[in-house]
Amino acid sequence: MTTQTLTQPQIIGQAQAKALQDESWVKRLLIGVTLGFSGLFLILPLIVVMVSALAKGLSAYWAALASPDALSAMALTLLTAIITVPLNTLFGIAAAWAITHFDFTGKSLLTTLIDLPFSVSPVISGLVFVLLFGAQGWFGGWLSAHDIHIIFAVPGIILATLFVTFPFVARELIPFMQELGQQEEEAALSLGASGWQTFYRITLPNIKWSLLYGVLLCNARAMGEFGAVSVVSGHIRGLTNTLPLHVEASYNEYDFVSAFASASVLAGLALITLILKTYLEWRQAKA
Amino acid sequence: MYISAKTPMLQHSIMPGFRLTLGYSLFYLCLVVLIPLSTLIFKSFQLSWDDYINIITNARVLAAFKVSFLTALAAALIASVFGFIMAWVLVRYPFYGHRLLDALVDLPFALPTAVAGVVLATIYQPNAFIGRLLNDMFAIQVAYKPLGIVVALVFISLPFVVRTCQPVLQEFDASMEEAASSLGASRLQTFSKIIFPNLFPALLTGFALAFSRSVGEYGSVIFIAGNLPYVSEIVPLMIITKLEQYDIAGATAIALTMLVISFVLLLVINLFQRWVRQRSGQL
């Protein structure tokens, strides 16, 4: 092996490779900085959640999770996600279909408007619903006359979550479907398939990984949203506290085991999201 | 280029669902986003100009704006530096476990902000391990100071920078580096004259995204900030405080001002970005 002479291209190849190499101390320094920074900002927080949740032992941890307030917070969080994620998914598919299959005036404006909720502070996202449905809001008088509660009740939480998670599915699907093109769909249509048949048999199988990716991110945000929900919830224990709000309430009452027990559930959810996300990225790269 | 983009027009007749999908999208967009957001503008019309100026120029409100924008700026800058290094390491130096780290970079996206808030507050409070270490060794107090806000915002900002720089680095054409090096450039020169200028637009995008997210961030900040008026009170908290005092007009005025400032800043950053791209010849 050592006596083997290198061919001309190999020598050039090595020279090129060497030209792209950074000195080893630079490499080590930058890897060190990266590991230190991510240890401090990404790994330590996860450890602290678990350690704080289990600070008073496993039984205290389970008791905190099984408390009525925690259970009702989990139920409300699930309910919110079950309602908001399908609605925003439906919108995402419809918007992506319209934007990627047709040319129309105002298309780029529509694309920009879809992203709008991302550039609005969560607190403002909650505030606008207070302005609409709150006691002094546009519909406030009518709502209270008919004894309908939106603000400081579950519908407000769902509306605020709907607003905040609005762009996720659409913004995932639009670039993906743009790149995919529409030859296959056109072929199906010209062979006599109906619009719905084309959608179910051609479009949906083609976009499914990208769609799931959007749904996953939408769900993570729906379950974890704090600022917007905090404004409209009214923080009524056992009634209008989602799990993130329950974390805040417990923390502010110095009930750290309860706060971190709930936080550990949400952190577990975040880890599952990251694992699924990595899996979906891998599937998309393979497809 | 233009012609090929327009050719699908001819095939429109065959593709179904235009009215249904666009109609539903517009209806839902109006219902969920546009109508609620427009209330902010209509509500603020009910205020007289003098009232508006009075609310906004209140010393405590002005201090909150200063805290929010300065901490967001500092955090986006810090995250840009470290996020760039992380993207560089993840793409260029595959070390043992880099895939795991790559997946973990998105943790701040996935972790609910309230969880991030209580955890960071716990880590950096003065009597916790790291908080005490910083306090004893460098006399730095992180929690309940503006520095604490910066720490929380760096956490939130990090994935924006990494995820905008990473794909550009991955696609980066190594032959440019080879050319520079074979023409006698040192590694440092290659980096500063060839690599960095090509990455700068992406880095700027990451910075803009991080900054715009940071300005409005609430959940991860309020636990670590201490929320001291004039010192570590952020604008989103100011809005909530006004709401809790049933001062709807005050909350609306502050919210609208913040929204307008962040849109203007994003516009400026976008224009600057276009200018940078044009200068570096990547149209």
Residues A141-196 have pLDDT tens digits of: 888 888 888 999 999 999 999 999 999 999 999 999 999 988 999 999 999 999 99
**Residue B237 CB-density burial (10 A; 0-12 exposed, 13-18 middle, 19+ buried):** buried
pLDDT value, residue B8: 46
Positive or negative: CA dihedral A21, A23, A25, A30: negative
Q: Is A226 on the interface with B (CB under 8 A)?
A: yes
Structural contact between residues A250 and A259, judged by C-beta atoms closer than 8 angstroms: yes
Q: Could B114 and A130 be called an inter-chain contact, meaning their C-beta atoms sit closer than 8 Å? A: no
Residue A38 touches partner B, C-beta closer than 8 Å: yes
ipTM exceeds 0.95, yes or no: no
CB B216 within 8 A of CB A121: yes
pLDDT given for residue B69 in this prediction: 94
In a mutational test of the A interface, the residue from B40, B90, B100, B119 whose CB has the highest number of chain A CBs within 10 Å is B119
CB pairs < 8 Å spanning A and B: 276
Among A15-29, A88-102, B180-194, which is the least confidently predicted range? A15-29
B155 has a chain A CB within 8 A of its CB? yes
B124–chain A Cβ distance below 8 A for any pair? no
Is B248 in the A-facing interface, judged by CB distances under 8 Å?
A: yes
**pLDDT at residue A12 tops 80:** no
CB contact under 8 A, A277 and B110: yes
Q: Do A266 and B248 touch (CB under 8 A)?
A: no
Of A113, A119, A269, the CB nearest to B212: A119
Q: Is the pLDDT of residue A3 over 70?
A: no
Q: Rounded mean pLDDT of chain A?
A: 90
How many angstroms separate the CA atoms of B106 and B103, rounded? Answer: 6
Confidence check: pLDDT of A262 > 80: yes
pLDDT at B38 over 60: yes
Q: What is the pLDDT of residue A4?
A: 55
A45 close to B (CB below 8 A)? yes
Confidence of residue A6 (pLDDT cuts 50, 70, 90): low
User: Is A128 close to B90, i.e. CB distance below 8 A?
Assistant: no
Here the contacts of A81-84 (C-beta below 8 Å, separation 24 or greater) are: A81/A161, A81/A219, A81/A222, A81/A223, A83/A158, A84/A158, A84/A161, A84/A162, A84/A165, A84/A218, A84/A222
pLDDT at A246: 95
Instruction: Give me the pLDDT at residue B10, please.
Output: 41
For residue A140 the two structure tokens come to 């406030």
Give residues with Cβ within 8 angstroms of A45, minimum separation 6.
B107, B111, B116, B119, B120, B123, B155
Contacts of B69 (CB under 8 A, 6+ apart): B215, B261
The mean pLDDT of A45-52, rounded to a whole number, is 94
Flag whether residue A110 sits within 8 Å of chain B, measured between CB atoms: yes
Q: What is the mean pLDDT of residues A85-112?
A: 94
- Minimum distance, in Å, between the CA of residue A237 and any CA atom of chain B: 17
Contacts of A260 in chain B (CB under 8 A): 118
Burial class (CB in 10 A: 0-12, 13-18, 19+), A6: exposed
Best of B2, B15, B25, B214 to disrupt the A interface by mutation (most A CBs within 10 Å)? B25
| Average pLDDT of span B18-36 | 95
Instruction: Note whether A275 contacts B: Cβ–Cβ < 8 A.
Output: yes
Q: Which is more confident, B137 or B159? A: B159
B212 — contact with chain A (CB < 8 Å)?
yes
* Smallest Cα distance from B67 to chain A, Å: 16
Q: Kindly report the nearest CA distance between residue B218 and chain A, in angstroms.
A: 6
CB B171 within 8 A of CB B90: no
The distance of B146 to chain A (nearest Cα, Å) reads 18
At which residue do the structure tokens 């417990």 appear?
A: A250
B68, B118, B122, B240: best to mutate for the A interface, most A CBs within 10 A = B118
Average pLDDT (B222-251) is 92
Q: Inform me whether the pLDDT recorded for B177 exceeds 90.
A: no
In the prediction, which pLDDT does B6 show? Answer: 44
Chain B environment of A227 (Cβ under 8 Å): 113, 217-219, 236
A45/B106 touch (CB, cutoff 8 Å), yes or no: no
From the centroid of its chain, how far is CA B9?
Answer: 37
